[in-house]
Amino acid sequence: MAAIASIRMPGMVLLALVATGAALAAPRRDYLITGAKPDRLFVIDAAARTIKSEWSIPGANDLVATIVPSPDGRIAYVLVNKMESISGIDLDTGREVFRADLSTPGERVKCMFGFDVTPDGRELIVYELPVKLGLSEYQVEDTRFAVFDTAAGLDARPVRQFPAPRRIHTVLARKDGKSFFAFGFDLYEFDRVSGRQLGERGIRNWTYAQHSIPDLLAFWPASEPTGVFSTPVYSSVPAADGKGEVPKTALLTLDLTSGKLDYHDFEDTAALIFSTVLSPDRSEAFGVYSQLSRIDTRSNALAKRVDLDHTYYSVAVSTDGKEVYAAGAMCDVTVFDPVTLGRRANLKLPGCPDQSLASLRVVRR
């Protein structure tokens, strides 16, 4: 209750709600989770436009990158410490409840942003790049997946490891909990328990008629609220007049329940987009960088685009689809109208810390 009492709401004091007993029946609401250098983790009450909590991540070592919320929205697993540690922070208390330091004496291990929690909340699947540290030389070792028990506390060691392709950048657990996806050169699917590769679908080796080898590099793994991951993909097609190439931006989607992979061009590339998110009804997608774009996913066309006040890396949408949020890159979170893409609110993070690559996630509690 003490933690709940710290929630600030617009125009009222929560204690009044507690007095009437209404707090226990308070409707669920969206909280935005973002991080910033050197060690900050923010919990933002989206509707109230207030920072509910600002936590310090121990041993973050000036990096707060990928953020993966637990399925119940109570813990944020955060990639920190030169990409060598994942810290689980209790969002209500700020306490570190999980810690996996990937490196060991003699082996330096980094995670290139790819990890996810299983739908049952029990395991983290982490993509690892290990290096053996010799006396006078380093030996790059084969990449692998490591699985951690989220109940292992502050000295978590892998419970399973299995081989992984190189150059994975996104890991996403399948909703049935039996397997997980990994984006790299192509899209791979692995059995969660045995690590056996279940499938491989073309990305680099896609068969999109006339399209060049695409470029895809996604460091923002959000799939809420739809359970469908989306990301821009860049490629080119031969120009109609036969002279040169026309750059194309496609929206790639991966349904984490059905496993359906889809991609469609929606424009001749006219803007850089770092991350995208689908609206709750999946009829639209929003993408950010220095512009905010709305993409009609039924007609596969750009519906609207507006210039932003600065670059943002990470985009999110409210659970009800009535607001779009942009964060990352700098030190604020901005709220947009999903129809007009007009700016509704702006929240400066205290001290203007650098969010850089930190994921913007939405948890509903």
Partner 1 sequence: MITRTRSSLMHLLAACIASLAAGAPGQGAAAAAVPTPPGPELLRGRCGGCHLQSGGDHFARISDIRKTPEGWLMTIVRMQHLHQAQLSAEERDTLVRYLADTQGLAPAETAPARYALERRPNVKDLQLPGDLQTMCARCHSAARIALQRRDAQDWLKHVHWHLAQWPTIEYQQNARDRLWWQKATTEVPQELGKLFPLHSQAWADWSQRPHADLSGTWLVHGHEPGQGDYWGVATIARTGDDEYRQTYALDTAAGEHVSGESKVILYTGFEWRGSGTRAAREVHEVYALSEDGGSLSGRWFEAAHPEIGADWQAVRAGPAQLLAVNPSALRTGAAARVIVLGSGLDGAVSFGPGTHSRVLERTAHSLSVEVRVDAAATPGYRQVSVGRLSAGQLFAVYDKVTRLEVSPAFAIARLGGGRIDPVAAQFDALAYTDLAGADGVTAVRLGYLPVRWSVQPYDQQARAAQDEKFAGRIDGTGRFLPAAAGPNPQRKFSGNNAGDLAVEASLEDMAPAVTGKAHLIVTVQRWNNPPIY
In the complex, which residues of this chain contact partner 1 (CB under 8 A)?
61-63, 82-83, 108, 110, 112, 129, 131, 133, 135-140, 166-167, 169, 185, 213, 215, 217, 290, 307-311, 330
Nearer to partner 1, 215 or 245 (CB): 215
Phi/psi of residue 270, nearest 5 degrees: -125, -5
Residues 6+ apart with CB under 8 A from 264: 250, 251, 297, 300
CB of 308 to partner 1, least distance (A): 7
CB of 229 to partner 1, least distance (A): 18
Residues 6+ apart with CB under 8 A from 37: 62, 63, 64, 353, 354, 355, 356
Report which residue type is found at 125.
I
Over its C-alpha atoms, the chain yields an Rg (Å, rounded) of 21
CB of 225 to partner 1, least distance (A): 28
Sheet of 291-296, strands arranged across: 275-278, 284-288, 291-296, 301-307
Nearer to partner 1, 217 or 303 (CB): 217
Nearer to partner 1, 61 or 197 (CB): 61
At 107, list the tokens: 């082996």
Instruction: Determine the distance from the C-alpha atom of residue 123 to the mean position of all C-alpha atoms in its chain, rounded to a whole number.
Output: 17
Nearer to partner 1, 215 or 262 (CB): 215
Return d(Cα 36, Cα 275) in angstroms, integer: 18
Residues 200-206: contacts with CB within 8 Å, 24+ apart? 201/261, 203/233, 203/252, 206/263
- The length of the chain is 365
CB of 175 to partner 1, least distance (A): 27
At 332, list the tokens: 């604020």
Nearer to partner 1, 85 or 297 (CB): 85
CB of 176 to partner 1, least distance (A): 29
CB of 336 to partner 1, least distance (A): 16
CB of 20 to partner 1, least distance (A): 45
Listed in sequence order, the DSSP H helices in 265-316 are: none
Cβ burial 230-251 (10 Å sphere, 16+ → b, else e): bbbbbbbbeeeeeeeeeebbbb
